[in-house]
Amino acid sequence: MTTVNTANIQVTQTGKAEAVKTATVADVDSALQTATADAKTALTEIKSAVSSGSASSVSVSTKVEVFEVKETTTNKTTTISKVTLSFTPDKDLKNVDLVEVIPKYVAQDASFIKFIGEQPKILQSDPVVQWSFSEVKQGEMKDLSYQVNKKIDSLNTTTIAVGQTVAAATTPTAATGAKPISSWAWIILGIIVLAIIVYWLYQRKILKF
Protein backbone atom coordinates (compact mmCIF):
# COMPACT_ATOMS: atom_id res chain seq x y z
CA MET A 1 0.00 0.00 0.00
CA THR A 2 1.36 3.41 -0.99
CA THR A 3 0.17 6.70 0.49
CA VAL A 4 0.95 10.17 -0.86
CA ASN A 5 -0.04 13.42 0.85
CA THR A 6 -0.37 16.58 -1.22
CA ALA A 7 -1.74 19.66 0.55
CA ASN A 8 -5.26 18.62 1.61
CA ILE A 9 -5.32 15.47 -0.51
CA GLN A 10 -4.23 12.02 0.64
CA VAL A 11 -3.78 9.38 -2.07
CA THR A 12 -3.44 5.71 -1.12
CA GLN A 13 -2.90 2.87 -3.59
CA THR A 14 -5.08 -0.04 -2.50
CA GLY A 15 -4.82 -2.48 -5.40
CA LYS A 16 -2.97 -3.44 -8.55
CA ALA A 17 -3.28 -6.07 -11.29
CA GLU A 18 -1.23 -6.68 -14.43
CA ALA A 19 -1.45 -8.84 -17.53
CA VAL A 20 -0.04 -9.14 -21.05
CA LYS A 21 -2.55 -9.50 -23.86
CA THR A 22 -2.01 -10.65 -27.45
CA ALA A 23 -5.26 -10.59 -29.39
CA THR A 24 -6.40 -13.45 -31.60
CA VAL A 25 -9.02 -13.62 -34.35
CA ALA A 26 -11.30 -15.25 -31.76
CA ASP A 27 -11.00 -12.12 -29.58
CA VAL A 28 -12.00 -9.97 -32.54
CA ASP A 29 -14.97 -12.25 -33.28
CA SER A 30 -16.08 -11.98 -29.66
CA ALA A 31 -15.89 -8.19 -29.77
CA LEU A 32 -17.83 -8.12 -33.05
CA GLN A 33 -20.82 -9.79 -31.39
CA THR A 34 -21.68 -6.61 -29.48
CA ALA A 35 -20.13 -4.07 -31.85
CA THR A 36 -22.17 -1.54 -33.79
CA ALA A 37 -21.50 1.15 -36.41
CA ASP A 38 -17.90 2.43 -36.36
CA ALA A 39 -16.76 -0.26 -33.93
CA LYS A 40 -17.94 -3.04 -36.23
CA THR A 41 -16.20 -1.43 -39.22
CA ALA A 42 -12.90 -1.03 -37.36
CA LEU A 43 -12.96 -4.57 -35.95
CA THR A 44 -13.87 -6.08 -39.32
CA GLU A 45 -10.92 -4.29 -40.96
CA ILE A 46 -8.59 -5.56 -38.23
CA LYS A 47 -9.86 -9.12 -38.64
CA SER A 48 -9.36 -8.98 -42.41
CA ALA A 49 -5.83 -7.60 -42.04
CA VAL A 50 -4.79 -10.29 -39.54
CA SER A 51 -6.46 -13.10 -41.50
CA SER A 52 -4.76 -12.05 -44.75
CA GLY A 53 -1.39 -11.69 -43.07
CA SER A 54 -0.99 -8.01 -43.95
CA ALA A 55 -0.98 -7.17 -40.22
CA SER A 56 -0.07 -9.04 -37.07
CA SER A 57 -1.04 -8.83 -33.40
CA VAL A 58 0.95 -6.62 -31.04
CA SER A 59 1.37 -7.70 -27.42
CA VAL A 60 0.09 -5.10 -24.95
CA SER A 61 0.90 -4.88 -21.25
CA THR A 62 -2.19 -3.91 -19.28
CA LYS A 63 -2.18 -2.63 -15.74
CA VAL A 64 -4.92 -1.44 -13.41
CA GLU A 65 -4.14 0.52 -10.25
CA VAL A 66 -6.74 1.35 -7.62
CA PHE A 67 -6.41 4.48 -5.49
CA GLU A 68 -8.36 5.99 -2.61
CA VAL A 69 -8.30 9.78 -2.75
CA LYS A 70 -9.24 11.46 0.52
CA GLU A 71 -9.83 15.15 1.14
CA THR A 72 -8.45 15.63 4.63
CA THR A 73 -10.52 18.75 5.29
CA THR A 74 -13.86 17.07 4.57
CA ASN A 75 -12.86 13.40 5.00
CA LYS A 76 -14.56 12.71 1.66
CA THR A 77 -13.09 9.64 -0.05
CA THR A 78 -13.22 8.79 -3.75
CA THR A 79 -12.07 5.54 -5.33
CA ILE A 80 -10.28 5.85 -8.67
CA SER A 81 -9.06 3.07 -10.94
CA LYS A 82 -6.43 3.85 -13.55
CA VAL A 83 -5.90 1.50 -16.50
CA THR A 84 -2.63 1.75 -18.45
CA LEU A 85 -2.03 0.07 -21.80
CA SER A 86 1.56 0.00 -23.02
CA PHE A 87 3.51 -1.62 -25.82
CA THR A 88 7.03 -1.39 -27.23
CA PRO A 89 7.51 -2.97 -30.68
CA ASP A 90 10.69 -4.93 -31.42
CA LYS A 91 10.61 -3.68 -35.03
CA ASP A 92 9.32 -0.66 -36.93
CA LEU A 93 5.55 -0.75 -37.40
CA LYS A 94 3.07 1.27 -39.44
CA ASN A 95 -0.73 1.59 -39.37
CA VAL A 96 -0.92 0.53 -35.72
CA ASP A 97 -4.42 0.26 -34.25
CA LEU A 98 -5.33 -0.49 -30.65
CA VAL A 99 -9.00 -1.12 -29.87
CA GLU A 100 -10.13 -1.36 -26.26
CA VAL A 101 -13.50 -2.97 -25.53
CA ILE A 102 -14.45 -1.81 -22.04
CA PRO A 103 -17.06 -3.86 -20.12
CA LYS A 104 -20.10 -2.11 -18.74
CA TYR A 105 -19.10 -3.00 -15.18
CA VAL A 106 -16.14 -0.67 -15.72
CA ALA A 107 -18.17 2.11 -17.36
CA GLN A 108 -21.72 2.19 -18.66
CA ASP A 109 -20.80 4.83 -21.21
CA ALA A 110 -17.65 6.41 -22.64
CA SER A 111 -18.66 9.70 -21.04
CA PHE A 112 -17.86 8.19 -17.63
CA ILE A 113 -14.24 7.56 -18.63
CA LYS A 114 -11.44 10.11 -18.35
CA PHE A 115 -8.73 9.51 -20.95
CA ILE A 116 -5.24 10.67 -20.01
CA GLY A 117 -2.69 11.82 -22.59
CA GLU A 118 -3.36 10.66 -26.14
CA GLN A 119 -7.08 10.74 -26.79
CA PRO A 120 -8.75 7.81 -28.57
CA LYS A 121 -11.55 7.82 -31.10
CA ILE A 122 -14.86 6.78 -29.54
CA LEU A 123 -16.11 4.02 -31.83
CA GLN A 124 -19.07 3.14 -29.67
CA SER A 125 -20.38 4.77 -26.50
CA ASP A 126 -20.99 1.30 -25.05
CA PRO A 127 -17.85 1.82 -24.80
CA VAL A 128 -15.38 0.80 -27.51
CA VAL A 129 -12.44 3.12 -28.23
CA GLN A 130 -9.53 3.14 -30.67
CA TRP A 131 -6.04 4.65 -30.74
CA SER A 132 -4.32 4.82 -34.14
CA PHE A 133 -0.70 5.56 -35.05
CA SER A 134 0.68 5.96 -38.56
CA GLU A 135 4.00 4.55 -37.34
CA VAL A 136 5.71 3.36 -34.17
CA LYS A 137 9.48 2.95 -34.25
CA GLN A 138 11.35 -0.04 -32.87
CA GLY A 139 11.90 0.42 -29.13
CA GLU A 140 9.42 3.33 -28.91
CA MET A 141 7.08 2.92 -25.94
CA LYS A 142 3.43 3.89 -26.17
CA ASP A 143 1.53 4.47 -22.92
CA LEU A 144 -2.24 4.92 -23.14
CA SER A 145 -4.27 5.50 -19.99
CA TYR A 146 -7.80 6.05 -18.76
CA GLN A 147 -9.48 6.18 -15.38
CA VAL A 148 -12.90 5.69 -13.84
CA ASN A 149 -14.26 6.69 -10.46
CA LYS A 150 -14.82 3.19 -9.13
CA LYS A 151 -12.90 0.14 -8.01
CA ILE A 152 -11.82 -2.38 -10.67
CA ASP A 153 -10.71 -5.69 -9.22
CA SER A 154 -9.69 -7.46 -12.43
CA LEU A 155 -8.65 -6.82 -16.03
CA ASN A 156 -11.52 -8.23 -18.06
CA THR A 157 -11.26 -5.70 -20.86
CA THR A 158 -10.62 -6.89 -24.42
CA THR A 159 -7.49 -5.30 -25.86
CA ILE A 160 -6.89 -5.74 -29.60
CA ALA A 161 -3.71 -4.29 -31.08
CA VAL A 162 -2.33 -4.88 -34.58
CA GLY A 163 0.28 -3.32 -36.84
CA GLN A 164 2.06 -3.76 -40.16
CA THR A 165 5.79 -4.44 -40.30
CA VAL A 166 7.78 -1.79 -42.15
CA ALA A 167 9.82 -3.48 -44.90
CA ALA A 168 13.57 -3.04 -44.49
CA ALA A 169 15.13 -0.70 -47.04
CA THR A 170 17.15 -2.55 -49.67
CA THR A 171 20.47 -1.26 -51.03
CA PRO A 172 20.26 -0.82 -54.80
CA THR A 173 22.63 -3.12 -56.71
CA ALA A 174 24.32 -2.47 -60.02
CA ALA A 175 22.49 -3.75 -63.05
CA THR A 176 23.64 -7.08 -64.46
CA GLY A 177 26.20 -6.58 -67.24
CA ALA A 178 29.33 -4.49 -67.51
CA LYS A 179 30.88 -3.53 -64.18
CA PRO A 180 32.20 -0.02 -63.64
CA ILE A 181 35.90 0.35 -64.40
CA SER A 182 38.04 1.34 -61.43
CA SER A 183 40.40 4.33 -61.51
CA TRP A 184 43.42 2.00 -61.56
CA ALA A 185 42.08 0.28 -64.65
CA TRP A 186 41.81 3.62 -66.41
CA ILE A 187 45.44 4.46 -65.50
CA ILE A 188 46.71 1.12 -66.81
CA LEU A 189 44.68 1.51 -70.00
CA GLY A 190 46.15 4.99 -70.50
CA ILE A 191 49.71 3.66 -70.12
CA ILE A 192 49.08 0.92 -72.68
CA VAL A 193 47.64 3.38 -75.21
CA LEU A 194 50.59 5.74 -74.68
CA ALA A 195 53.06 2.87 -75.19
CA ILE A 196 51.35 1.88 -78.44
CA ILE A 197 51.56 5.44 -79.76
CA VAL A 198 55.25 5.75 -78.85
CA TYR A 199 56.02 2.40 -80.46
CA TRP A 200 54.12 3.37 -83.62
CA LEU A 201 56.03 6.66 -83.90
CA TYR A 202 59.31 4.89 -83.30
CA GLN A 203 58.55 2.36 -86.02
CA ARG A 204 57.76 5.09 -88.51
CA LYS A 205 61.05 6.81 -87.76
CA ILE A 206 62.98 3.58 -88.41
CA LEU A 207 61.21 3.05 -91.74
CA LYS A 208 62.32 6.51 -93.00
CA PHE A 209 65.93 5.49 -92.82
- If one counts every other C-beta atom within 10 angstroms of the C-beta of residue 71, the result is 13
CB-CB contact of 9 with 53 (8 Å): no
Model pTM? 0.77
Does the residue 181 lie in any domain? no
Does the residue 198 lie in any domain? no
Does the residue 193 lie in any domain? no
Does the residue 188 lie in any domain? no
CB-CB contact of 145 with 116 (8 Å): yes
Does the residue 192 lie in any domain? no
What is the count of structural domains for the chain? 1
Domain range spanning residue 151? 2-165
pLDDT tens for each residue of the chain, 209 residues long: 566 566 789 999 999 999 999 999 999 999 999 999 899 999 999 999 999 999 999 999 999 999 999 998 888 999 999 999 999 999 999 999 999 999 999 999 999 999 999 999 999 999 999 999 999 999 999 999 999 999 998 888 999 999 999 987 665 554 455 555 566 777 777 777 677 765 656 666 554 44
Does the residue 81 lie in any domain? yes
147 by DSSP, 3-state: which? strand
Residue 111's closest CA among 148, 81, 79, 84?
Answer: 148
182 burial class (0-12, 13-18, 19+ CB within 10 angstroms)? exposed
Does the residue 85 lie in any domain? yes
Does the residue 206 lie in any domain? no
